[in-house]
Structure 1
Amino acid sequence: MFLGLDLGTSGVKATLIDGDQKIIGSASAALDVSRPHPGWSEQIPADWCRAAEEAIQGLKQAHPQALGAVRGIGLSGQMHGATLVDESDKVLRPSILWNDTRSFRQAAALDSDPQFRALTGNIVFPGFTAPKLGWVRENEPEIFAKVRWVLLPKDYLRLWLTGEHISEMSDSAGTSWLDTGKRKWSESLLAATHLEERQMPDLVEGTESAGTLRPELASRWGMGPGVVVAGGAGDNAASACGMGTVGEGQAFVSLGTSGVLFAANASYLPNPESAVHAFCHALPNTWHQMGVILSATDALNWHSGVTGRSAAELTGELGDTLKAPGPVTFLPYLSGERTPHNDAAIRGAFAGLGHESSRATLTQAVLEGVSFAIRDSLEALRAAGTTLNRVTAIGGGSRSRYWLKSIATALDLPVDLPADGDFGAAFGAARLGLIAATGADPVATCFAPATAETIEPDASLVAAYEDAYQRYRRLYPAIKEATM
């Protein structure tokens, strides 16, 4: 048996699989986020351990024999969080999370140093780890002086599980301290933030062993000795392992609160100027790129709140037959935008409204606007040297057939729907635990689920969608100029 633990922002999920990768059971526990000031987002690391304990105890209650047979544990986690501990592994302050924006000035200062983009392959975003340490140094110098270890959230969970200070490549690539091409810490980038390599955890690949479960925890959960804890992965890379998106040219589009276009790469292909994330993948000698939009289903949920109709009602009004784009264009920048603009200040807009614009017209524009934002990410990936022939759709938004048809036509790519099942980050983490414990082949283990259905682009509307996309592209600079 093998266990995957996914440490998310809102909770911890534990998934148990057998050697044939059949899911035996899952359990979860909730987490709260503290926002003591505008733009701040923090969690208490001890709460992660409590939630993991609660989820595992849930599995123990439901599947005690299966849990007792666990040989390997894999970890997945929310990325970029700054968890600061001292010489005795005492947490110095609440962890600063990925969606905390207080360090925007520090991020801009670091990004102005050319070596950061050159070595990491990425813009230094305010959500990344390095600028958070800059903020702590400037605002909490007494805390900064005591920092012995800087750990990412899932790696603090590893410390609790194993007593080891270890991270892996995919998560560490989101710190702004990793030389992403060489897959190692950069002494010069650390020095630029007044840190040393000795304050960073050791690095392994996500498929490698990164410690063994502490005997007292193994005993409490009914497990035997020597349970291997894998390096694991950041949440998107872990989801990719669960989806089988590990080989060159494989990709998925995630329609969650935010949207992600994730592509696996056999080589390192950075393109920071377009705000594409270029990170190490969880498997050795592989990388991945991500285009990230900040409001995907969040845009539809906003529209739902304004109109007083559920998202299902709104999309249901459109029917199943894809329509040509109308005169109304929607920019889904409700929280700013990441790819390709890296613009935290820009906000959304409807353009082309008329007396005839109905609720259904606006719903159609919202879905098309998100589809075009994903097209922006596709173009950014293409500029970085990635060619995609198809994508797999996951996330809550993929339940809307109209939206899937819109995305397929906007991208002019087939969109595959996986067969029913749980292929998320906890499942991907369990796969990594299996690989680390057994030495199984990583690529063969991380196979893709069966395809239940393929949504093809509507050939009769591809040209109309292209025209509408070009109109969409022209609106960003116009709105930016008018709102500066």
Structure 2
Amino acid sequence: SPLTVSRPKPLWSEQNPLDWWNALNAAMQQLHAKFPNELKKVKVIGLAGQQHGAVLLDDKNNVLRPAILWNDGRSSEECLALMNSVPHAMKIAGSIIMPGFTAPKALWVRKHEFDIFKKINKILLPKDYLRFLMTHDFATDMSDASGTGWLDIEKRQWSPELLAACDLSVKNMPQLFEGNAITGKIKNSISQYWGLSENVKIVAGAGDNAASAISMGSVNPHTAYLSLGTSATFFIACEKYQPNPTAAIHTFCHAVPNYWHHMAVHLNGASTITWITHLFNEDIPTLLSGPRNADLIFLPYLSGERTPHNNPHASGVFFGLNNLTTKADMTMAVLEGTAFGITLGYEALLQDPNLQIDEISVVGGGSRHDAWGIMFASALKRPLTYRKVREVGAAFGAAKLAWMSDFPSRIIAEPEVEKVLQPNEDLMLQYEKKYREFKKLYHDVFKN
């Protein structure tokens, strides 16, 4: 089902949580109509979803206001207030507290909507609100909870100190589970409506990025995963908690026990493709088929940026427009600028001398465009590995976590390699100069 995002004010991004529930019911009805026998065989379901969103419930489990989403940038002042209140917050939370996180959203509600704040009984993440409607359990997993700003990442438990700084406590939080642990079972009424058998269980699941990594094998500390969804991330697993927050890198719990992960997060991934295609009402091949007359630079910050800038106020910029500029020029600049922005995140990861990246594997819907992949490979100066089932990474990872509830010690096999895209030597030479100009443009526009 199509879902829309509400942006009633600059930097705001909200959705009605009940729209997610209606969409889930519609999807399950479609599955029941097409695959009734297969649905009856389902024993365990895994969940994955967008991180950071704040779903606020009262003591009767009613939603108090629209959910504030991961790419909402209104709470930068609250981030500073929380880090000032808890000076070692970055060490606890594994990251700079950023406007996308859940904690500053709650502080914003306390400041601007206090009548709502004082009614809060539970704060749930998006997928966990759906879990509650499915099972009536308040539960979450370690990877998704890591993005709240309230989790003690090293100890894998809620931080009373960070919660208290927001006038909250552990009683306002869901129970924590590892990603492959059973959190409950689907209510009989829901099972019947969806065409499932009785006693179908739910595992804790994962945030979307951790789930995508699980789909690709997940826990190899020498394989980085470049996830190209609406947002984009560089993700690499690690066996120790070694945060690097000053580079705007997130160090979070992984979705499986005894693992963590580093993540460079970019709020503008394949969403830039969606934006340019909607702007001109043409697909990428059509847009690129026209004449090219100008070499533009595009800063891709349509929704602000996290790594490495941590700047919710950054915005998109075309530089070099003239009377001859074409749609093809602008489209090429969008593709290249998005690749350059993500290259900055890769460089931020490499500031950690303990990391050794032997392979970069691409997942997500943006991985279907080979020409774009060659641009990324050329900007990164690294070959990119494309494995099968990569376009449904988070969903497949959630299913793997459900499977691991019965086989928790099984090694997660990596999907078969489909192809490897190599850097283009001509593009690498061209991009060396253009990437320097890209970095200088950001500095000139947003640092002066």
Match of 1:367 among 330, 335, 339: 335
Shift of 1:431: 1.6
1:315–1:402: 8 Å Cα contact kept in structure 2? Answer: no
Question: Are 1:479 and 2:421 counterparts?
Answer: no
Matched to 1:412, the amino acid is: K
Shift of 1:381: 0.8
Alignment of 1:171-320 (within 5 A): 171-304=144-277, 310-316=283-289
2: distance between equivalents of 1:463 and 1:383? 23
Partner-residue secondary structure (3-state), 1:114: coil
Shift of 1:210: 0.8
Paired position in structure 2 for 1:401: 370
Match of 1:165 among 138, 143, 147: 138
| Residues 373/341 of structure 1: CA separation in 2 closer, same or farther (3 Å cut) | same
Deviation per CA, 1:50-77: give whole Å up to 9, x if none: 3222222222222222211211011112
Shift of 1:254: 2.8
Question: Are 1:331 and 2:299 counterparts?
Answer: yes
State the identity as a percent.
Answer: 42
1:389–1:413: 8 Å Cα contact kept in structure 2? Answer: no
Match of 2:355 among 366, 386, 394: 386
| Residues 330/54 of structure 1: CA separation in 2 closer, same or farther (3 Å cut) | closer
Partner-residue secondary structure (3-state), 1:30: coil
Matched to 2:381, the amino acid is: D
Alignment of 1:436-455 (within 5 A): 436=405, 438-441=406-409, 443-444=411-412, 447-455=413-421
Shift of 1:239: 1.9
Question: Are 1:84 and 2:29 counterparts?
Answer: no
Q: If the length of structure 1 is used for normalisation, what is the TM-score?
A: 0.83
Q: If the length of structure 2 is used for normalisation, what is the TM-score?
A: 0.89
Shift of 1:121: 1.3
Match of 2:400 among 422, 431, 454: 431
2: distance between equivalents of 1:361 and 1:94? 38
1:301–1:311: 8 Å Cα contact kept in structure 2? Answer: no
| Residues 315/265 of structure 1: CA separation in 2 closer, same or farther (3 Å cut) | farther
Match of 1:156 among 117, 125, 129: 129
| Residues 349/83 of structure 1: CA separation in 2 closer, same or farther (3 Å cut) | closer
| Residues 407/68 of structure 1: CA separation in 2 closer, same or farther (3 Å cut) | same
1:318–1:364: 8 Å Cα contact kept in structure 2? Answer: no
1:330–1:366: 8 Å Cα contact kept in structure 2? Answer: yes
Shift of 1:455: 1.0
2: distance between equivalents of 1:424 and 1:388? 20
| Residues 130/308 of structure 1: CA separation in 2 closer, same or farther (3 Å cut) | closer
Partner-residue secondary structure (3-state), 1:131: helix
Alignment of 1:60-71 (within 5 A): 60-71=32-43
| Residues 39/462 of structure 1: CA separation in 2 closer, same or farther (3 Å cut) | closer
1: distance between equivalents of 2:268 and 2:31? 34
Match of 1:419 among 364, 388, 409: 388
2: distance between equivalents of 1:289 and 1:180? 12
1:164–1:211: 8 Å Cα contact kept in structure 2? Answer: yes
1:78–1:153: 8 Å Cα contact kept in structure 2? Answer: yes
1:86–1:146: 8 Å Cα contact kept in structure 2? Answer: yes
Between stretches 162-171 and 401-410, larger displacement belongs to 401-410
Between stretches 111-120 and 219-228, larger displacement belongs to 219-228
| Residues 107/415 of structure 1: CA separation in 2 closer, same or farther (3 Å cut) | same
Shift of 1:87: 2.9
Deviation per CA, 1:4-36: give whole Å up to 9, x if none: xxxxxxxxxxxxxxxxxxxxxxxxx33343444
Root mean square deviation of aligned Cα: 2.8
1:315–1:400: 8 Å Cα contact kept in structure 2? Answer: no
2:300–2:334: 8 Å Cα contact kept in structure 1? Answer: yes
| Residues 67/358 of structure 1: CA separation in 2 closer, same or farther (3 Å cut) | closer
2: distance between equivalents of 1:279 and 1:255? 19
